[in-house]
Amino acid sequence: MRRCFKSVSHLCVVVLVLFGAAGTAAASPIQSPFSTVGGPPLADFEGFAEGTLISNQYAGVTFSQDDGGAPMIDNFPWLFGYNSVSGDGVLTGSTDGGASVPTVAGLILDFTTAVSTVEFYLSDFGPLGTYTISAYGAGNVLLESFVAIPQNYVGFSHASADILKVTFDSSETFDAFAIDDLRLVTAVPEPASMLTILGAIAGLTAVGRRRT
């Protein structure tokens, strides 16, 4: 019976440590050749006709451009050598907002509800300038920003859900680029999840006491 109580105690410690670590983790930019989130993407930009304008076709996120237009789908063979990682479709800039050529407008992602993690693949074989990605919170307050390197998954991972918008642009006006495989994550485990786990631990403790 002592082993039972010892196991429950260890489980409590592990759970509390994990939740404590998740709650205090510092914000960190994402820049990796592999997805740090995993699982199927929210938006893979597949199945649309060439040139389709994308705004709110994916639940939870609205896409736009820094010139007021909407970005578009570019299918293989692409207008530029993006190097898609998931298939034939990528999201790139359009001339909808007045850009003189496609593929160069800056992209904006607005989220219906705040998220803790944003990740997408940045495609461009021949960058001309530097790519800056920025995260914004409530009141359009800048949370953090960094220079992203193409041919990587890039984004942000925060300890709490405070990201409401992400912007992405090149320092060069006519620098073509595209994004692919957008993934979002909500906050660290909700209080309700914590209560469920603690309830399960309490149940195990009660069982151990009855057996004793």
Task: Determine the pLDDT at residue 21.
Answer: 40
Task: Determine the pLDDT at residue 25.
Answer: 42
Which burial class, exposed, middle or buried, applies to 60 when counting CB atoms under 10 A from its CB (0-12, 13-18, 19+)?
A: middle
Can you tell me whether residue 197 is helix, strand or coil? helix
Continuous segment of H or E residues that includes residue 204: helix 191-211
- pLDDT-derived band of residue 127, with 50, 70 and 90 as boundaries? confident
Tell me: the pLDDT tens digits for 55-113?
Answer: 999 999 999 999 999 999 999 999 998 887 778 999 999 999 999 999 999 999 999 99
d(CA 206, CA 200): 10
The residue whose two tokens read 């195990």 is 204
Residues 6+ apart with CB under 8 A from 66: 97, 105, 106, 107, 108, 167, 169
Average pLDDT over residues 163-186: 95
Tell me: the pLDDT tens digits for 21-56?
Answer: 444 344 589 999 999 999 999 999 999 999 999 999
